[in-house]
Every structure is written in C-alpha cells, then in structure tokens.
Structure 1
Amino acid sequence: MSRFYWVRHGPTHAKSMVGWSDLPADLSDDAQIARLSAHLPGDALVISSDLIRARATADALNGPRTRLPDDPNLREIHFGDWELQVFDKIPDQEHLRAFWENPGDVRPPGGESWHEVSNRVSAGAARLLAAHPGRDIIAVAHFGAILTQVQQALEVTAYEAFAHRIDNLSVTELHWQGNRWHAQAINHLP
C-alpha cells in the first residue's frame, strides 16, 4: 500500500483566479506549520508542484524528510486568459459558469479543461507510485490538482468533487490499495 498526503500550499491571499501565476505563500503561522509537519509521516518523501507557493510550503514541512524534485504536473489548473481575474469581472460569464458547473471538456480561453488537468495530475501521481512503490508521499499541490485525485478516489463526477473544500495547509490522505485509490481523509486541518 502507498499513502499519499496531498497538502494544499499556504495561502496567497489573492482574491482572484490563481492558476499558473507564481505567487508566494504566506507561511508566517509557525504553529500551524509545526502542527501540519507533526501530523505527516516523518519518513515520507516530499514533492511539490514547481510553483513557488507549493515549493516554499514543501520546504517548510520537509525537515528530515527526503525532498524529491518539483513536478510541474502537480500544478494548479491553467486558467489562461482568466488568470488573476476576479470571477465576476470575467466578460464571458456563461463560459465561466460552464467551466465550473459542467467540468470536463470546457476550457478557459488559452487554458486547460478539467479533463486535461486531471490527466496531467494523475500521470504525475502514477509516475510517483511506479518510482516509489509502498512509500508514503507528501505531495504539496493546489486546490484543483488535489480535487482531481479526490474525484478519482471517490469515483464521483468532477462536479461532485468540487463540493469538497480543500483549505490552505489542509491534508487529503489517499491510499493506493491493489488497483484503486481510497480516501482516508479529505481537507483535514491538523
């Protein structure tokens, strides 16, 4: 069995759609970081997306753990032309609603669809499983990336996966057993 501890990066405090923009995380709450680090297995491998908010969060949690190279496959949804825009300021509200209410093949202009995000993140997770069978892995990633894995573990639609909260510095624990994922905890705040 392999256990993945998906950790959402520290908060950026942005009030817009943040996908591939490289905004830093606020990691000033030392007590919260310490609680989170203590909750995670000490012998786990640590990996993160290559965006600074995830990298810095992974580095803050790392301690004595082995740090793997950053993986761009664990990035957030690529929002394309919607990047850093406030939801209600995006001109094509119908298209925006379709992206969130009917996730699948709908993509932001210049961005990627839910299916594309899911395939990208799932490929990254599969490579980690193959390279490190039976290991505990702490993957510091993003809201959308983590939800793709929740969807897979729960075997629900993307729309149903969106009903789950994934708070900053939360842990979503998924176990790979046999040939499928099992959700042990979603959005746990240590």
Structure 2
Amino acid sequence: MADNTTVFDLIRHGEPEGGPMYRGSKDDPLSEAGWQQMRDAITEGDVWDAIVTSPMLRCVHFAQELSDRYGIPLHKDKRLREINFGEWEGRTASEVMASDGERLSQFWANPAANTPPGGETARAFNHRVVESWQHWQQELEGQNVLIVCHGGVIRMLIADVMNIPLEHAFSSLATPYACRSRVQVDTSAHGRFQSLVAHGDFKALAP
C-alpha cells in the first residue's frame, strides 16, 4: 500500500430560496444571500484537484461555477443528497414543532430509532453517504478534493471520521450555511487513518 495523503474540504450549501426549513429532497436553488455566503467561504489559499457535489440545485450550481472558473474536474454523486424528511419537508422547525413536536424531539434525540413520517431512515441515509465517502477516498486518492453537500451529509461524514454513533450523529455537530470542514485521510502500510483537521469558518482560523 503506497503512502499518500488525501485532503477533503467539505462545504455545506448556502441559504436556499425560501430560507431555513426542513428541505431535504426539496430542490430549491441558492438565494442571492446563499450565493454570497458560498463565495465568501472560499479563501485565496484554496487549491483543489477535483470537486464532488450533490446533484441538488443548492449545491451543484456553485460547484459548477468553481469548476468552470478554475478548470477543476466535477463529479456529481446522487448518494450525497440530503436526507428525505418526508412530511416535514417544506416546513420550518417551529411549524413542525407546533404540529409534530414529540416526534421531532424523538428524531433529534435518536434519529436511528425515529424516522420522520414518510421520510428516509437515518440508517439508509448513513449507508449511502458512507458508501460515497469510501468510493471517493479510493477514486481520488492522494488529491485535494472539495465536496459540496448538505448539513446532514457532513454530519454523517464527520461521524464516520470520528466514530460517532449514529444515535448522536445529527445532534453532535453544528453545520450552518456555508460551513466548512477539513478531513485528512492518510494511507500507509499501517492502514488508512481519517482525521478531522478543522471545522467552522476557515478565514477565522487563518493566522
């Protein structure tokens, strides 16, 4: 096994049109504010060899802009779509809390055992996201990669990196709009090791 390092930068999409809500598979594009959030999150020091994106409009439009501007190969992966929230989609957190508060609280307390009505199970969601994650680690090994995706997807990826149980994966990490994370994957004769290097506002972390 050859020694190499793969660096993944994860970025959540900015604010979509319609504002904050349980959006899931609802395919809204970025708002003007969302575009600005995404552009502001990119730094002068960012250099990527490849971009992987969710095909949903709030992700793929920005990924395509970066790909076109810098001539970076772009890969679309439907496994990186957000979790489907079923009957909660298109509704704000306060609206869902008012009508279905007990089930919403149970979901956040233990998503592995509590699925939104008519929605995707957390285990199925986690399985497809981790499957994608393992694929791109192998496919783009040794490169610097940007993944443009969703808050729930980032939570699943970080949970895999840090061995966080699925029961706690949704509640253990804040992922605001245009939030960034960096994961380093080192491969050697000793195996493959994943490390969370940074999470949050990268510009604020710069010296």
Instruction: Give your verdict on TM over 0.5.
Output: yes
User: Cα gap change, 1:32/1:80 in structure 2, threshold over 3 Å: closer, same or farther?
Assistant: closer
Distance 2:101 2:37 in 1: 40
The Cα of 1:101 is off from its aligned counterpart by: 0.9
Between 64-73 and 119-128, the greater mean CA deviation after superposition: 64-73
Question: What is the deviation of 1:96?
Answer: 1.5
Which residue of 43, 58, 70 maps to 1:53?
58
Deviation at 1:130, TM superposition (A): 1.8
Give the aligned partner of residue 185 of structure 1.
198
Letter of the 1:109 counterpart: P
Which of 108, 112, 117 is the equivalent residue of 2:125? 117
Deviations 1:104-125 (A, max 9, x none): 1321122112222211111111
The correspondence for 1:96, drawn from 79, 85, 104, is: 104
Tell me the distance in 2 between the aligned counterparts of 1:189 and 1:27. Answer: 22
The answer for unaligned runs of 5 or more in structure 2 is none
The number of residues matched between the two structures is: 189
Percent of residue pairs bearing the same amino acid type? 22
Normalising by structure 1, report the TM-score.
Answer: 0.88
The alignment's C-alpha RMSD in Å is 2.2
Following TM superposition, the consecutive aligned residue runs of length 4 or more in structure 1 with deviations greater than 4 angstroms are 27-32
Gaps of 5+ in 1: none
Structure 1 residue aligned with 2:184 = 175
**TM-score normalized by the length of structure 2:** 0.81
Q: Distance in 2 between matches of 1:15 and 1:161?
A: 17
Instruction: Compare CA radii of gyration and give the structure with the larger one.
Output: 2
- Correspondence 1:1-190 to 2 at 5 A: 1-12=5-16, 14-27=19-32, 33=39, 36-41=42-47, 43-62=48-67, 63-90=69-96, 91-158=99-166, 159=168, 162-178=171-187, 179-190=192-203
